[in-house]
Structure 1
Amino acid sequence: MRRYGQSVKTDITYKHRPGVYGVILHGNEILLTHQAVPESEIQLPGGGIDPDETALQALHRECLEETGWKVQVDRRLGAYQRFTYMLDYEFWAQKICHIYLCRPVYKLQDPIEPFHTTIWTDVDDALDLISNEGDCDFLRAVLALR
């Protein structure tokens, strides 16, 4: 599995942290989320998979919490890993990031996840906005197929 970001540090114990994220496209626009705290980041909507849920259940929950949108999942694009310190949880994690191609269905509510704001932007501009290189690579792969 491809790794993005920091190299593995041998003196650190990493907590396994599976997550799921959506490339949510509507025409030439993509739905992103801005997380203001603990660090300002623009991201694909998504997050951790809870022990009692599947990846798809987590993706639907996270998209709704972070953007307020109900999404239709079209297909799995792949996965990558990151070894990083998670400031929100105060631990080092081996994040396994599963990426899915999605479409927005309808907006149900405003985001309920604290410090998250919904962003609709042109897909080409998104590559300059998204903070995570792994997410950008999956978006590039989707755009190459259009």
Structure 2
Amino acid sequence: MIARFGEPPRQDQTYKLRPGAYAVLLQTGLRGDRMLITYQAAPDDEFQLPGGGIDPGESPVSALHREVLEETGWTMGRARRVGAYRRFTFMPEYDMWAEKLCSIYVARPAHRVGPPTENGHTAHWVSVDAALGLLANSGDRFFAEQFLR
């Protein structure tokens, strides 16, 4: 059984399945443990785990590498899947109600290529504690906390 986070599905809506892959990107070092998260200005003003939808014909890990690069400007090392959750939401950028099936991975940031290329996204290095307080999505927070604590 896959856990659900967020609002329950609405009975008056039909949902389209939208699989996605998201990363807990952790760096350890002399300055302590830090996470690389993304800030998305629209459609909702929020901090998120980097990641997004898996395109047709794309593997989850390939989608994850692409999305992390687009949203943070960083490449990442080998990703390890740690779980999944479902979330029912309206996606205004696609004008659709979606059942998001979110696969969560853990990886290390590898190399900064440049700024994020996806409009409205900025990358932020924050402490682990700060990240857990900033992540807007309860499913993202749950999996980040499970892995980090």
| Shorter-chain TM-score range | over 0.9
Matched ranges for 1:2-21 at <5 A: 2-21=3-22
Corresponding residue SS for 1:141:
helix
1:19, 1:95 within 8 Å by CA — same for their partners in 2?
A: yes
Structure 2 residue 136 is the aligned partner of structure 1 residue 131 = yes
TM-score with structure 2 length normalisation?
0.94
CA RMSD of aligned residues (A): 0.8
1:111 aligns with 2:111: no
* Pair 1:24-2:41 in alignment: no
State the distance in 1 between where 2:144 and 2:71 align.
19
Q: How does 1:11-90 map to 2 (within 5 A)?
A: 11-27=12-28, 28-90=33-95
Consecutive unaligned residues in structure 2, runs of 5 or more: none
Q: Are 1:95 and 2:96 counterparts?
A: no
Task: Please give the alpha-carbon distance, in whole angstroms, between the structure 1 residues aligned to 2:22 and 2:94.
Answer: 18
Find the aligned partners of 2:112 and 2:133 in 1 and give their Cα distance. Answer: 25
CA contact (8 A) 1:73 1:100 kept: no
**For 1:113 and 1:91, how far apart are their aligned partners in 2?**
20
Q: CA deviation at 1:88?
A: 1.4
The percentage of counterpart residues that share the same residue type is: 50
In the alignment, does 2:122 pair up with 1:121?
Answer: no
Distance apart, 1:59 and its partner CA: 0.2
> Secondary structure at 2:88's aligned position in 1?
strand
> What CA distance in whole angstroms lies between the structure 2 residues aligned with 1:75 and 1:7?
28
Runs of at least 4 residues off by over 3 Å: none
> How many Å separate the matches in 2 of 1:48 and 1:143?
24
Partners of 1:36 and 1:75 in 2: CA distance: 28
Structure-1-length-normalised TM-score: 0.96
Instruction: Measure, in 2, the Cα distance between the counterparts of 1:98 and 1:106.
Output: 23
